[in-house]
Amino acid sequence: MKNILMILTSHSEMENTDSKTGVWLGEFTDPYYEFIDAGFNVTLASVKGGRPPVDPMSELTENITGANRRFQEDEVTKAAFSQTQQLNQINASDFDAVFYPGGHGPIWDLAKDNNSGILILDFIDAGKPVAAVCHGPAALISAENQRPGFLKGKTISAFSNTEETLVGRSGNVPFLLQTKLEELGAEVKTAMVPFLSHVETDGLLITGQNPLSAGPTAKALIEFLNQNKATANQQIRDDETKLPHQKQWRENAEQYIAAKPDELI
């Protein structure tokens, strides 16, 4: 069974306003239930641990998703959300992939958190995918700080400058995420029309543009992990054909694959 790590912001303050921010709830709940329904284990972590702040705007009626409603009735997940692990206690070797939800918070804390940056590089170096949506790709900036040139030439998606202006928060953030990522050498691709879903995959990086992209980004990550599993199993079958005289070996391998397929990845 695959183990997915979801890393959430712990930051709630905006600049030049009394408005609050934090996790955009649907960008957590939509991917979370995609992973759960796919049979994956999900571990929640945040910069400070405990309950992450939730952007109040994401709880308004017009922004509520089906996954949000499911979350409100899910006492087990609500308890896990209130007791996230502290980021500095997390080890990439325990997981198959990492996912960063958005909300504006990440552009303050995850963009400069050294533990997060090192963790992203640990996943990449181990050949494990890193996914993020909306302002979640701000976490890639911390990886760039740890390894200059990391973002150069990467094709990613993230909350666009146009969208930031349209939601009226361009004056309440320390930088425009699209501009910052482009300054660091990334090519940021977005939907032709603001707020429509858009997902980019570049090697081990899977990124989505906005709240509507949260579920599709999670699905892209699930597909990536399942393709890798299929590739590994196909390689085993190919290897078997090269050793036709070892019938017992093939039978043992088939039994092992059927019992513990995930341990082959």
Q: How far apart are CA 262 and CA 255, in angstroms?
A: 13
Does 34 qualify as catalytic in the annotation? no
**198 catalytic residue (yes or no):** no
> What are 53's two structure tokens?
């702040």
Paired tokens of 168: 């009226």
List the one residue out of 50, 48, 51, 57 whose CA is nearest residue 24.
57
Catalytic residue among 135, 144, 163, 200: 135
- Name the phi and psi angles at 208, rounded to 5: -120, 155
170's CB contacts (< 8 A; 6+ apart) are 161, 164, 176
Three-state helix/strand/coil letters over 191-236: CCCCCCCCEEEECCEEEECCHHHHHHHHHHHHHHHHHHHHHHHHHH
Residue type present at position 11 = H
Pick the catalytic residue from 27, 34, 144, 164: 164
Quote the CA–CA distance of 86 and 71 in Å, as a whole number: 22
Residue 164 annotated among the catalytic residues of the structure? yes
Alpha-helical segments (H) within 38-160 = 66-72, 75-82, 114-125, 139-146
Catalytic-labelled residue, pool 11, 134, 144, 200: 134
C-alpha–C-alpha distance, residues 197 and 260, integer Å:
35
Q: How far apart are the first and last CA of the chain?
A: 10
| Pairwise CA distance, residues 28 & 11, whole Å | 15
User: Which residues belong to the active site?
Assistant: 134-135, 164
